[in-house]
């Protein structure tokens, strides 16, 4: 039933996105896509998969687990396949969580790894949005656009601030724990706290998470050039992180529909027409589908031995503490 609803929502959002746009014009743009720039976008997407693998491996080391480079790459690549089958990043996260729980980690520990990865990805996305906000304000000509950009950034920063407050304030056994949302935020803050401890492995995780967002901007820049869309890299850096954040709302399959709507609206701030913005979003989604298809084929030929995790040789004590935490 939920899948049917998501399909209907996706179809509705795509209909809204195409309703006021010249579909033939979009088709012409897509057919004129420069193959060289499309290949460059695919190459950068490959680097995005690698950075995601580095991030997962780094967070697992923080949790006292070891994952080989090859296995981390498989988790990332196959995760892209499942991400296309569910709203936002949920499909990829579910695959990773379930698979980690099957090859050496408890369910609770696997869930905490995924929560930590999402929290770090969100934190670095907020940093990118803050860096691009001054550029976005210069691009916004209307008060409504400025208010929308400011509201999105303030909401994102507020959520990040709540996470930091929960990291530093002992609020256990308080009346707030009666709220399910607060308990989820508290769990996320507990795992995020580990990533704030100064260490070389955490530094690698932070850099990998930040690089992912910058690579998405670079991919969009390549596709924009390939489609002959007149938009600067600075404008993409300022506007697309906010658009992708809104598109992460889990209401459609693979982000289709909501991503197209956000691109049409946000890129209009930089003077990009609806036809061009829609074409850019579609090609960006198709690149994700291509990589996801490669991940799906990879999933068919690998076995669980390729995805196994182990306790780090120098961190068995933390791993044992993790196990004891699960038992309690």
Give the span between the Cα atoms of 73 and 261, in whole angstroms.
31
**What pLDDT does residue 318 have?**
47
Strand 65-66 and strand 310-311: the pairing is antiparallel
pLDDT under 50: residue ranges of the chain: 313-321, 323-328
**What pLDDT does residue 247 have?**
77
**What pLDDT does residue 223 have?**
96
Give the span between the Cα atoms of 298 and 292, in whole angstroms.
10
**What pLDDT does residue 244 have?**
85
pTM for the full predicted model: 0.84
**What pLDDT does residue 269 have?**
92
């Amino acid at each position: 039933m939920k899948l049917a609803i998501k399909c209907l929502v996706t179809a509705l959002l795509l209909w809204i996105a195409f309703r006021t746009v010249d579909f033939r014009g979009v088709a012409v743009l897509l057919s004129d896509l420069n193959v060289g720039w499309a290949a460059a976008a695919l190459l950068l997407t490959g680097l995005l998969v690698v950075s995601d693998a580095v991030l997962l491996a780094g967070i697992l080391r923080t949790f006292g687990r070891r994952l080989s480079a090859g296995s981390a790459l498989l988790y990332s690549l196959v995760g892209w396949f499942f991400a296309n089958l569910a709203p936002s990043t949920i499909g990829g996260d579910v695959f990773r969580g379930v698979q980690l729980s099957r090859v050496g980690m408890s369910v609770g520990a696997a869930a905490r790894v995924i929560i930590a990865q999402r929290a770090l990805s969100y934190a670095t996305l907020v940093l990118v949005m803050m860096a691009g906000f001054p550029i976005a304000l210069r691009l916004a000509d209307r008060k409504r656009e400025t208010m929308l950009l400011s509201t999105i950034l303030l909401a994102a920063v507020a959520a990040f601030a709540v996470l930091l407050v929960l990291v530093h304030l002992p609020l256990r056994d308080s009346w707030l724990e009666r709220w399910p949302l607060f308990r989820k935020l508290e769990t996320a803050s507990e795992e995020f706290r580990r990533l704030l401890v100064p260490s070389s492995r955490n530094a690698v995780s932070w850099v990998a998470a930040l690089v992912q967002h910058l690579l998405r901007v670079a991919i969009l820049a390549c596709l924009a050039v390939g489609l002959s869309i007149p938009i600067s890299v600075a404008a993409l850096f300022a506007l697309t992180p906010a658009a992708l954040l809104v598109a992460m709302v889990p209401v459609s399959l693979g982000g289709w529909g909501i991503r197209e709507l956000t691109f049409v609206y946000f890129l209009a701030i930089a003077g990009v027409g609806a036809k061009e913005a829609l074409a850019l979003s579609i090609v960006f989604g198709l690149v994700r589908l291509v990589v996801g298809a490669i991940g799906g084929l990879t999933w068919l030929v690998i076995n669980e031995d390729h995805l196994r995790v182990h306790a780090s040789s120098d961190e068995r004590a933390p791993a044992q503490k993790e196990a004891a935490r699960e038992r309690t």
